[in-house]
Amino acid sequence: MDAAVIGARLASSAVAPLVRKLFVADGPGAGLVDRPVRVSSLVSFRGEKRTLTDRDLEKLAKELVARAIKAAGPGERPCPADEDVIVAMALARTLAALGDLAMDDVQAVRLGVLGLTRDLCRSAGRPDAILSHDANLFYDQLLDSACRHILHFFTQRSSFVARTLVEQSRQLADLIVKVDILIERTPPQSAETADFEQRYAAYVAGKYGTLTIFGIDVDRSEATWPLDAAYLSLEAVSERGAPEAPQPADQALAGRDRVLLRGVAGSGKTTLVQWLAVCAARLEPPRGMEQLIGRVPFVLPLRTIARKDSLPDPTHFLAAVNSPLAGAQPAGWADRVLTARRGLLLVDGIDEIPERDRERVRAWLSDLLLAYPGNLWLVTSRPSAVAEDWLAGQGFTEFTLSPMSRDDIAAFIDRWHDAARATCRTDEERAALDGYQAALHTAVRTKQDLARLATNPLMCGLICALHRARRGYLPPGRKALYDAALTMLLSRRDTERGVHAPGDPQLDEEPQIQLLQRLAYYLIRNGEAELDRGEAVRIIGTALPSVPAASALGDAEAILRHLVLRTGLLRQPSADTVDFVHRTFQDYLGAKAAVEEGDWGLLVRNADDAQWEDVIRLAVAHARPRERAELLHRLLDRARSGRRGRTRTTLLAMACLEQAPELDATVREDVVRQAASLVPPRDLEQARKLAEVGPLVLELLPPPGGLDEKTATVCVVAASHLRTDAAIAYLRQFCGHPSLAVRAQLTYAWSRFDTERYFAEVVSRLDPDELYFVAGSEAELRLLREAGGRPRMQVEGAFGPESLLDLLPGGLTHLRLRHNHAVSDLAFLGAFPRLRRLTLRNCSGVLSPEHGRPLAGLERLETLVSLHLDLPTYLQPQRPAVCPPHLHTLYFSALGTVDCRWLAESFPRLRHLSLAIDTPGADGLDLTPLRRLPDLRWVHVNGRDVSRALRHEGAKVTVIPGRAPRVRMGIPDGPEP
């Protein structure tokens, strides 16, 4: 029987009541509290409002099948009778996947019937694969009918229309901004150029739109995962200024043209580069990053482009990275893109080129910046590969990627196991993986050593892979983890897969390590990141007499091919080059080779080179106790000799102690004594470097008694970056410190520690005088509210209005909302009548002008800081603006021209004004109307004090594009200097 006939006979009156049972009862409103409202939060067989069990779900599916068969009529059975139960079970399993959908009801409706059925089938693991042809058609039609009624059910929910209108308003506001920017940044183009840019954008999105996930499946050493699902936005901190709460790393370019981003190996620098490139190529920037619209991304990995004698000019950018589109680009295309200020240049890996080449790279960057101003630049490096302010002369702002927080680690573990679950073949494998996931969450929370290791995506992925491969057991310590990883990759993986047939030549783990470590050590000694294939063959050939077991695989060429294809540690970026999948494995194997060669002098001579830091630490881990003592003595002697890098070498020796489980006590005491001379740290940069040493630093840091404000601040910074519970006892001593900077750092650090313990021992003891309490999770906000609340709050993240109403204290006087794209209407602020100062940073959801009216109800509001919010667009349609009567201090940004006459009319009590204006090419700003404001004391435009211009005829100033008023977080209220 035709399946379409089944759908016609299966009446809505039969399907709709069954579908309705899948969902919990609806509530009023727009459903913005738990944003976004996941489909998974609405189903009736999960969560707190569970009304259906799995067995009930199966009964519902069987009833649907039975009704469909009855509707078909006698003699027209849609599938064999012995498959009725199988179809029902497949349908139940598919409908159960509603609980796994990571979308809200509005998105589900937008997806449509075909998209919803596709996503449900994929999430359920294709349960229809075992059905016969007729049964499969029957299953498809039943699922299609159910999905139609599911989507119809969503549209009838009381909150759906309201949510849809809110979503449409947000999208319309975003679209207007994006279209305006796109029109401005897209010059007239020939058909050839337009066609090529479309091809190039599709190529970039495809090439960089996936991530390699280490150890997802024992059948593969690595697996690819869509970047959209895998990307985890980590946090970055500014290298300069007062202590400031971290911000999302992908927002580092917001309001800035040039950023140098530092991060340790595996911290996600390259992933961020991919993310920005794909966002620009797809014209889908995250909120707050609209400056990516219309940009053409150029991904320039230095490990590849710096191998050539000369660094590429724009015409040869694509050829330098071996892009297949290099020959297809129109003549002069890249030059035109950069001249029009449309480029997004992502220069990845300063640390992955030899130190001797770095000055050459800086000169190359300087020339490009002079020739092509106005483009966006992101340069990445390991923390100490280049000196502080290495690109400051070129106008770069420096940020450092923060280690993963507890929430980041938990999110990564969940995402890794979600990806791994897609590779499972049986329900038993999925159940086992569920158990491993829960056990790993517990282990990371309870074992401090493990939590300290899982501070970057690479190590976190390695831990997940090993935990699964070893069925829930993890070896302690960094070296033991790498040893276990190599065993998994070089030995267990192929054995468990049954790759080798009887009689096939096999290579044990140790011979493979011997050959790999020779390749790694060659790269390290020569300061290279890639190896010519011919040179790799030569190195292996030279090593063969010492590793005779490898000859079973053939000649050196065959052995190299085996290492690339089978180990999962080597790869071929091009036909002529070989490199390691990650620098960490290269450092580990190279350190082992250095120890076996006894090259202590070479290690010590390179102690001040960032590329050798991990090599030396791992060499200490590989060495025997007597060898460790000799290496550490030599490091201390070099530090005492007064050569350059004394501080770095001393801290490196101190950090090596963590890798030395057995060491002569006198050597350990000598290292600690010499490191004590660097404590307390001099500045924030040294404090962060001191924290890299590990928990040993706590033995050296001084107590708060007698410390001045600066010294106390840097000591707290160092301890708070340790992210171990042992640091809480030290930080608790500073709770009564009178310095605001010290107390601000203590509250900023909350997210790095166990939420409840840190609150009880530190946050609850802080003097609230002039202090903003920082909270980035619901748990933190609830703890503060239950403790009576605090008058000054800084809320990080996307909390909706109703959540803020529920979690913020009624006596709030100062509020900062940062990185919040969930708030589009400020009406909720009316619940806080005592509010005196409001700061909105990266709150791009607040765009609609009609939403400005609620500000008028804040009768006590005196200061409004709205950076990254275009205030004139927000308020200007209302003349005069509906603003609080006592507002006297205003910081804001504007995407277009600012009408100072409107400002003077709207804010008659204004005393302090600071403007950030993004108007490239503007020739001036007329300040004359501001003279009528009797209380105005100073005016800043893009960080420049222009108060004197008010005293001259004309009162015009030149706008400085690209800069922003300096509004520091963590200082007392009042006029900014």
Q: Residue 580 above 70 pLDDT?
A: yes
Segment (H or E) for 956: strand 956-957
Specify whether the CB–CB gap between 308 and 320 falls below 8 A.
yes
Q: Residue 681 above 60 pLDDT?
A: yes
Q: How far is CA 292 from the centre of its chain?
A: 17
Q: Token pair 């990445």 is at which residue? A: 380
Sheet with 531-532, edge to edge strand ranges:
531-532, 577-580, 570-574
Alpha-helical (H) ranges within 749-846 are 755-761, 778-786, 801-807
What's the rounded mean pLDDT across residues 425-437? Answer: 86
Of 220-224, 355-359, 617-621, which range is least confident? 220-224
Predicted pLDDT of residue 800? 83
Residues in contact with 554: Cβ distance below 8 Å, sequence separation at least 6, in sequence order: none
* The amino acid at 734: F
Q: How far is CA 949 from the centre of its chain?
A: 43
* 687's tokens: 């404090």
Half-sphere exposure of 786 (CA within 13 A, CB side): 9
Each domain of the chain, given as residue ranges in start order, spans: 3-164, 235-403, 768-957
What's the rounded mean pLDDT across residues 164-190? Answer: 59
Segment (H or E) for 348: strand 343-348
Of residues 149 and 51, the one with the higher pLDDT is: 149
Residue 421, Cβ density class (10 Å: 0-12 exposed, 13-18 middle, ≥19 buried): middle
Predicted pLDDT of residue 621? 92
Give 3-state DSSP helix, strand, coil % of the chain, rounded to 5: 55, 10, 35
Predicted pLDDT of residue 49? 43
What distance in Å separates the CA atoms of residue 911 and residue 94, rounded to the nearest whole number?
63
Q: Residue 32 above 70 pLDDT?
A: no
Residue 354, Cβ density class (10 Å: 0-12 exposed, 13-18 middle, ≥19 buried): middle
Structure confidence by residue, pLDDT tens digits, 288-335: 677 788 899 999 998 888 877 789 999 999 999 989 999 999 999 999
Strand partners, 6: none
C-alpha distances out from residue 444 to 433, 440, 477, Å: 16, 6, 13
Of 473-482, 521-530, 665-674, which range is least confident? 473-482
Structure confidence by residue, pLDDT tens digits, 480-529: 888 887 887 776 544 444 444 444 456 788 889 999 999 999 999 988 88
What distance in Å separates the CA atoms of residue 783 and residue 888, rounded to the nearest whole number?
33
Of residues 750 and 948, the one with the higher pLDDT is: 750
Q: Is 715 helix (H, G, I), strand (E, B) or coil?
A: helix
Residues in contact with 466: Cβ distance below 8 Å, sequence separation at least 6, in sequence order: 215, 474, 475, 481, 484, 485, 488
Structure confidence by residue, pLDDT tens digits, 610-639: 778 889 999 999 999 999 999 999 999 888
Cis peptide before 680 (omega within 30 of 0): yes
CB count within 10 Å of CB 315 equals 14
Q: Is 104 helix (H, G, I), strand (E, B) or coil?
A: strand
Predicted pLDDT of residue 841? 80
Give the long-range contacts of residues 580-586, CB within 8 A, separation 24 or more.
580/520, 580/523, 581/212, 581/214, 581/222, 582/265, 582/266, 582/458, 583/265, 583/352, 583/529, 584/265, 584/266, 584/458, 584/482, 584/614, 585/482, 585/520, 586/520, 586/523, 586/524
Q: Residue 849 above 90 pLDDT?
A: no
pLDDT band at 7 (very low <50, low <70, confident <90, very high): very low
Q: Token pair 């009855």 is at which residue? A: 70
* The amino acid at 88: A
Q: Residue 151 above 90 pLDDT?
A: no
**DSSP of 259-282:** EEEE--TTSSHHHHHHHHHHHHHH
Of 319-333, 337-351, 691-705, which range is least confident? 691-705
Cis peptide before 880 (omega within 30 of 0): yes
Q: Residue 857 above 90 pLDDT?
A: no
C-alpha distances out from residue 946 to 183, 597, 903, 932, 968, Å: 32, 65, 16, 16, 20
Predicted pLDDT of residue 170? 58
Residues in contact with 147: Cβ distance below 8 Å, sequence separation at least 6, in sequence order: 113, 116, 117, 120
Mean pLDDT of the chain: 78
Specify whether the CB–CB gap between 860 and 886 falls below 8 A.
yes
Nearest in space to 648 (alpha carbons), one of 688, 703, 589: 688
Q: Residue 879 above 60 pLDDT?
A: no
Of 639-643, 783-787, 957-961, which range is least confident? 957-961
- What angle separates helix 133-156 from helix 54-72, to the nearest 10 degrees? 110
Q: Is 870 helix (H, G, I), strand (E, B) or coil?
A: strand
The CATH number of 235-403 is: 3.40.50.300
Alpha-helical (H) ranges within 244-394 are 269-282, 302-305, 317-320, 333-339, 355-371
Cis peptide before 929 (omega within 30 of 0): no
What distance in Å separates the CA atoms of residue 481 and residue 120, rounded to the nearest whole number?
37
Structure confidence by residue, pLDDT tens digits, 732-782: 999 989 899 899 999 988 988 888 899 999 999 999 999 999 998 888 999
pLDDT band at 178 (very low <50, low <70, confident <90, very high): low
Q: Residue 12 above 60 pLDDT?
A: no
Structure confidence by residue, pLDDT tens digits, 77-126: 777 777 888 888 888 888 777 765 555 555 556 666 677 787 777 777 77
pLDDT band at 230 (very low <50, low <70, confident <90, very high): low
The CATH number of 768-957 is: 3.80.10.10
Predicted pLDDT of residue 55? 72
Q: Residue 13 above 70 pLDDT?
A: no
pLDDT band at 965 (very low <50, low <70, confident <90, very high): very low
Specify whether the CB–CB gap between 923 and 958 falls below 8 A.
yes
Percent of the chain past pLDDT 70, that is, above it, reads: 76
- What angle separates helix 583-597 from helix 478-487, to the nearest 10 degrees? 100
Structure confidence by residue, pLDDT tens digits, 581-603: 777 889 999 999 999 999 999 99
Residues in contact with 545: Cβ distance below 8 Å, sequence separation at least 6, in sequence order: none
What distance in Å separates the CA atoms of residue 525 and residue 522, rounded to the nearest whole number?
5
Provide the total of helices (H) and of strands (E) in the chain, helices listed first.
38, 23
C-alpha distances out from residue 672 to 632, 636, 700, 875, Å: 11, 11, 8, 60
pLDDT band at 205 (very low <50, low <70, confident <90, very high): very high
The segment with the largest mean pLDDT, out of 449-463, 499-513, 707-721, 938-952, is 707-721
Nearest in space to 56 (alpha carbons), one of 116, 96, 24: 96
Predicted pLDDT of residue 58? 77
Predicted pLDDT of residue 977? 25
Of residues 322 and 895, the one with the higher pLDDT is: 322
What's the rounded mean pLDDT across residues 446-456? Answer: 71
Backbone CA torsion sign across 485, 526, 693, 378: negative
At 318, give phi and psi (nearest 5°).
Answer: -70, -40
Of residues 223 and 416, the one with the higher pLDDT is: 416
Pairing mode of beta strands 235-238, 397-401: antiparallel
Predicted pLDDT of residue 44? 54
Predicted pLDDT of residue 256? 81
What's the rounded mean pLDDT across residues 5-29? Answer: 54
Predicted pLDDT of residue 4? 42
Predicted pLDDT of residue 558? 87
